[in-house]
Amino acid sequence: MIRKSISEKASAGLPSPVEALIDRYRHNGGLRQYVVYLAFVLILATFSVILHDDGFLSSSNLLNIGRQAAPIAVMAVGMAFALAAGEIDLSVGSVVALSSLVAAEIVGNHGFLVGTLAALGASALVGLVNGLITVKVRIPSFLVTLGMLGIISGIARNWNDLQSLPIRNDRFSGMFGAGGLGPVSSLLIWTIVVGALGHIALHHLRWGRHVLSTGADRDAANAVGINTARVKISALVVSAAAAGFAGILLAGRLSIGRHDLGEDYLLTVIAAVVIGGTNLFGGRASIVGAVTGALIMSMLNNGLILMGLEVADQLIARGVIIILAVALSMREAKES
C-alpha cells in the first residue's frame, strides 16, 4: 500500500516524456539555446545564394571550411570548459605554436607517438601553471593567461629563430591533418572525436557537472564539498591541452612547427564558444554549440573572402560579430 502510494507520487512527479520535453524546452532556455544552429543554417543559406557563382557550395570549398574550422573547433571545446568554470584562457593561441614546435622537435628523433604525447604534455603543463597561479595566488585568470600568452609566444619565437621546423614523418602527417579515412579528412574525424568527448565529459561525467557548478556558484559548490580550486585548475588544463591538440592538427596539416601558428585564433575561438551558447562568465556551456560556432566563424571567414573583402574589412566584420555575440551572452546572463 505504501509502496503503491509512493510510486503514484513518483509518477506524479515525472510527467510523460513529451510533456517533460516541452517543459524542458520552455524552462531551460527556450529558443535561445538553439539560436546558434539557426544562425548556422541562415548563414549557410545566405552564402549559398549570394556566393553560388563563386563556388561557395563546391565540395572543395566546403572541405576547406571544414579544414579551417577543425583547429578552431578543438580549441573551442577546451575554451568552453575554461569559461564554464568561470575562468578564461587567453594563452591558447601561443600554446598552439608551442605544441607544434615541440611536436616538430621530437617527432623527428623519437617518433610519432612520443612527439604527440610530448606536445600534449607540454601544453597541459602550461594549463597547469595557469591554473595553479590563478587559484593559489588568486590572480584573475585573464591576467595570468595574458602574461602566459607573452611568455609562451616569446619562447616560441626563440625556439628556432622565427624559422619553421619541418616535420618529416608520414605517420604524423597522415594521422593529423593530411590523411584521412577514405574521403573523410582526419581533421574532420578528430574534430568529431574531440567534440564527442567534450560533450560526454560535460553532460555525463561527474567532472563536467562540477565544472558547471563551480562556474555557476563557487560558494554553493564549495558548500557541497566540491574542490572548486581543483576543478578550476583542471578546466584550464583541459583548455590548454585542447589548444595543444589543435597545434598538433595544424602541424600535421602543414608538416611544420612554427612560432606563429594559432597566433590570431584567440578572438575567433572565444567568439565561436560564446556564439555557441556558452556563458562568458561561467555556469553555462554547450560543446555542440561551440563546434557549430567554430563552423560559423570559419564559414564567415570563407564567405567574406569569397565576397572579395579586404583583410581590413574582414577584421572589422569579425570584431562586430564578436561584440554582438558577447552582448547576447551578457543579456542572457542578466535574465537568468
Partner 1 sequence: MSAAPALVASGISKSFRAVQALDDVSIELHHGRVTALLGDNGAGKSTLVKCISGLYQPDAGRIFVQGVEHRINSSRHARELGIETVHQTLSVIDPLDVAENLFLNREHTRGGWLGARIGLLDKGRMRRECAATLARLQIRIPSLRRTVGSLSGGQRQAVAIGRAVAWGQQIVLLDEPAAALGVEQTQRVLDLIVNLRDQGVAVLLITHNMDRVLAVCDQAVVLYQGRKCAEVDVAGATKDDLVSYITGARSTDSGAGI
217 contacts partner 1 (rule: CB under 8 A): yes
204 contacts partner 1 (rule: CB under 8 A): yes
Q: Considering only residues 139 through 198, tell me which ones interact with partner 1, judged by CB under 8 A.
A: none
C-alpha cell at 257: 612547427
253 contacts partner 1 (rule: CB under 8 A): no
34 contacts partner 1 (rule: CB under 8 A): no
CA separation for the pair 76, 272 (Å, rounded): 7
Backbone phi, psi, residue 179, to 5°: -90, -160
Mark the segment that binds partner 1 (CB under 8 A) among 69-77, 166-174, 205-213, 326-334: 205-213
Indicate which single residue of 155, 209, 263, 326 sits in contact with partner 1 (rule: CB under 8 A): 209
Q: Which of 76, 67, 105 is nearest to 242 (CA)?
A: 76
Mark the segment that binds partner 1 (CB under 8 A) among 38-46, 203-211, 253-261, 325-333: 203-211
Q: Considering only residues 60 through 99, tell me which ones interact with partner 1, judged by CB under 8 A.
A: none
Backbone phi, psi, residue 256, to 5°: -145, 160
Q: Are 235 and 89 within 8 A, CB to CB?
A: no
Indicate which single residue of 207, 229, 263, 317 sits in contact with partner 1 (rule: CB under 8 A): 207
Indicate which single residue of 12, 31, 181, 312 sits in contact with partner 1 (rule: CB under 8 A): 12
Residue closer to partner 1 (CB basis): 6 or 41: 6
Q: Are 227 and 99 within 8 A, CB to CB?
A: no
199 contacts partner 1 (rule: CB under 8 A): no
Please give the DSSP secondary-structure letter assigned to residue 166: E
Q: Which of 72, 23, 90, 47 is nearest to 302 (CA)?
A: 47
| Closest CB 12 distance from partner 1, rounded Å | 7
CA separation for the pair 98, 228 (Å, rounded): 28
Indicate which single residue of 70, 79, 165, 216 sits in contact with partner 1 (rule: CB under 8 A): 216
Indicate which single residue of 27, 53, 311, 334 sits in contact with partner 1 (rule: CB under 8 A): 27
| Closest CB 75 distance from partner 1, rounded Å | 23
The rounded radius of gyration (Å) of the Cα atoms in the chain is 21
Instruction: For residue 299, count CB atoms less than 10 angstroms from its CB and return exposed for 0-12, middle for 13-18, buried for 19 or more.
Output: buried
Within 8 A by CB and 6+ apart from 242, the residues are: 74, 75, 77, 78, 79, 92, 194
1 contacts partner 1 (rule: CB under 8 A): no
Mark the segment that binds partner 1 (CB under 8 A) among 6-14, 88-96, 158-166, 293-301: 6-14
SS3 state of residue 75? helix
CA separation for the pair 142, 79 (Å, rounded): 12
6 contacts partner 1 (rule: CB under 8 A): yes
| Closest CB 114 distance from partner 1, rounded Å | 25
Q: Considering only residues 271 through 310, tell me which ones interact with partner 1, judged by CB under 8 A.
A: 283-284
List residues near partner 1 by CB under 8 A: 6, 9-10, 12-15, 19-20, 23-24, 27-28, 204-207, 209-210, 212-213, 216-217, 219-226, 283-284, 336
